[in-house]
Chain A
Amino acid sequence: MELTLSNNNKITISSNSIKYSDNWKLGENIFNSVLTGSGIMIIMIVIGIFLTLILSSLPSIKQFGINFVTGTTWDPVFERFGALPFIAGTLITSFLALLISIPFSIAISILLGEYFKRGIFSGFIKSMTELLAGVPSVIFGFWGIFFLVPIVREFEKILGITAYGIGIFSSSIILAIMIIPFSASVGREVIELVPSDIKEAAYAMGATRYEVIKKIVLPYAKSGIFAGIILSLGRALGETMAVTMLIGNFNKMPTSIFAPANTMASVIANEFSESTFELYTSSLIEIGVLLFIVSTVINLIGKWVIKRMVVR
């Protein structure tokens, strides 16, 4: 009801400003303050989220201190909480996924940004990668369980290790597929932005296409490509549903990249609804704080690296 009213008001104001052109300043001011307001609101929301997380995790911070980060036991029955297995699980799955995805995403970026800039084929691949980014993660999880896991299990049998199929390796592959669209689309855009005059100069000097890509395009676009990779890493760190379905949810330190493990986002999703006492809940929230911090730190490192990479 209120919404309709305020919409109503806005409409009247905007029509006024068109009718009486001497009244333009009012509209300008309102527009300005709406923009500033939205900006401030974003800052408030981020700080607010962080503060409430910290406040609600105080009981567990008080109880465990730094041992929460270094502890390897997660035992709700005997009320001992240490988050290291989840931190390890999150970092291992995300970075492994990144490693798997980088060759593919760079290849797709070059293909779309350099070889097939326009045309049906390029349009098809572009929309397919975009579609991949839009698939809900639970569907990736399903596909992983029914298609990927049996293949990984056969692979593990050949390797001669315990053939669970699910575990860090399977989740990393799924994560890699999920994050490729993000790094690939950013990569494509920056590769397209490489000025054609320097490329043409290289061709004029007799460089082959491969040499141009290697010596001109990639060095020029590397900070942008890296930015895309950091963006995709952020997505991998926080991914919950697909990972929960594939990682095996084993709350101990992972022993190998084929072993079952658990991640920070996944343990929160799994255990929050039945966390019956305060220390348990606040420990789960503290994991949320840690995830927040890990994502922020990785983002900051990424920004710093991007700055240093810019071509001078």
Chain B
Amino acid sequence: MKKLLLITLIALLALSLIQCDGEKKKATKELELLGAGASFPYPLYSKMFSEYFKANSIKINYQAIGSGGGIRQLTAKTVDFGGTDAFMKEKDLSATDGEILHMPTCIGAVSVTYNLPNNPELNFTGKIITDIFLGKITKWNDSAIKKENQDVKLPDEKITVIHRSDGSGTSFVFTDYLSKTSTEWKTKVGAGKSLSWPVGLGGKGNPGVAGLIKQIPGSIGYVELIYAEQNDLPVAKIQNKSGNFIRPSLESSSLSAQIDIPEDTRITITDTDAAEGYPISSFTWLIFYKEQSYNNRTKEKAETLIQLLNWMIHDGQKYPTELGYASLPASAIEKSKLIIKKVTFNGTNLVK
């Protein structure tokens, strides 16, 4: 009996040794990139990276731990790139050791959804949404809502505001829009991933918010457009800067990015001048170091990263719309190319 046990143990030991050896060989042969960050683009990234692996057999490991986590991991230099839904502030950028670049990968939109009898399609202005979320408009038949929705019969029902309880890029995009359209919102609440909400209930994640809205009659909240579409939630048309009421869609959110994009692509595309653009849209970015030779990284690794970034804004751009994200407009792709050109290894540019 004991002998048998001993033999089994030795056999197991030998097996594990063989396996370890096998993994080691694999690791040296194959380059692997490590990324971490935003969970919003995760379905897109996992599709992109699996396609990329099929085409180039380079493994990319992306962990959707949240934008904050992505930024923390990149500043700690434990990953090759990070993902974030909100660009890093000037203050945080200057605090890092080495310059960090932002490259947009796709566009997402946040839609306003609600629970009313028969769920009519509503028109909202920025002012109406702000006043509802500030707790100033408390009834659905308020004259301000009536004014923009004359054909809709609005009930005499109390409005229950639903927002995200967890820190989220979705909240950032939504409140960034509110801050741009209302100075009162900007000074009282501001824009951020977690906020001090004046009124309302918090739900965890898009499913949490949508679940509460479905349950509470007369409630209103915001979810990612993809989530609203996948779950057939009613969405409101929102008035943009040019005065048009725009229904949220892949096209209209992509259109909102057709503006002058700055060199570093760090811009929020909420409430833009684009006449047909949906005003609550946003880029999501990959972030990485401009100088790639940190922590004894190899030049090969840096080049692999550049190849991946290039692929994502070229061939990779056919995947966003497939998965419910809006693809980048040409102007944003041009700017992204320039960003990639900035990347260096030991001071020499990697892309000529």
Residues of A within 8 A of B (CB): 1, 4-5, 7-8, 11, 15, 73-78, 145, 149-150, 153, 162, 164-166, 244-245, 248-252, 260, 262, 266, 269-277
Q: Is B13 a contact partner of A244 (Cβ separation < 8 A)?
A: no
3 residue pairs, one from A and one from B, having the closest CB atoms: A274-B167, A249-B202, A249-B165
Q: Is A276 a contact partner of B2 (Cβ separation < 8 A)?
A: no
Contacts A164-B160, A273-B68, A274-B168 given: A248-B201 contact, CB under 8 Å?
yes
B6, B193, B197, B212: the one within 8 Å of A250 (CB) = B197
> Nearest Cβ in chain A — how far from B23, in angstroms?
12
Q: Is A74 a contact partner of B196 (Cβ separation < 8 A)?
A: yes
Within 8 A of A (CB), among B300-330: none
Q: Is B13 a contact partner of A1 (Cβ separation < 8 A)?
A: yes
Q: Is A273 a contact partner of B69 (Cβ separation < 8 A)?
A: yes
A76, A150, A270, A277: the one within 8 Å of B204 (CB) = A270
Q: Is B215 a contact partner of A270 (Cβ separation < 8 A)?
A: no
Contacts of A11 in B (CB 8 A): 2, 5-6, 9
Q: Is B192 a contact partner of A77 (Cβ separation < 8 A)?
A: yes
Given A77-B191, A262-B165, A274-B166; 18 other pairs, CB 8 A cutoff: A7-B9, A76-B196, A77-B189, A78-B196, A145-B215, A150-B215, A164-B160, A248-B202, A249-B202, A250-B201, A262-B202, A270-B167, A270-B194, A273-B68, A274-B68, A274-B169, A276-B67, A276-B68
Residue of B nearest to A4 (CB): B13
B16, B160, B197, B212: the one within 8 Å of A251 (CB) = B197
Q: Is B151 an interface residue (CB 8 A)?
A: no
Contacts A1-B16, A145-B211 given: A78-B69 contact, CB under 8 Å?
no
Q: Is A274 a contact partner of B66 (Cβ separation < 8 A)?
A: yes
Q: Is B200 an interface residue (CB 8 A)?
A: yes
Contacts of B215 in A (CB 8 A): 145, 149-150, 165
Contacts of B65 in A (CB 8 A): 273
Contacts A78-B190, A273-B66 given: A164-B165 contact, CB under 8 Å?
no
CA distance in complex: A77, B175 (Å): 11
* Interface residue total, chain B, C-beta cutoff 8 A: 43
Q: Is B194 a contact partner of A164 (Cβ separation < 8 A)?
A: no
Q: Is B16 a contact partner of A77 (Cβ separation < 8 A)?
A: no
Q: Is A275 a contact partner of B167 (Cβ separation < 8 A)?
A: yes
Within 8 A of A (CB), among B166-212: 166-169, 189-197, 200-204, 208, 211-212
Q: Is B211 a contact partner of A164 (Cβ separation < 8 A)?
A: no
A165, A245, A269, A274: the one within 8 Å of B67 (CB) = A274
A15, A270, A277: the one within 8 Å of B202 (CB) = A270
Contacts of A8 in B (CB 8 A): 6, 9, 13
Contacts of B211 in A (CB 8 A): 145
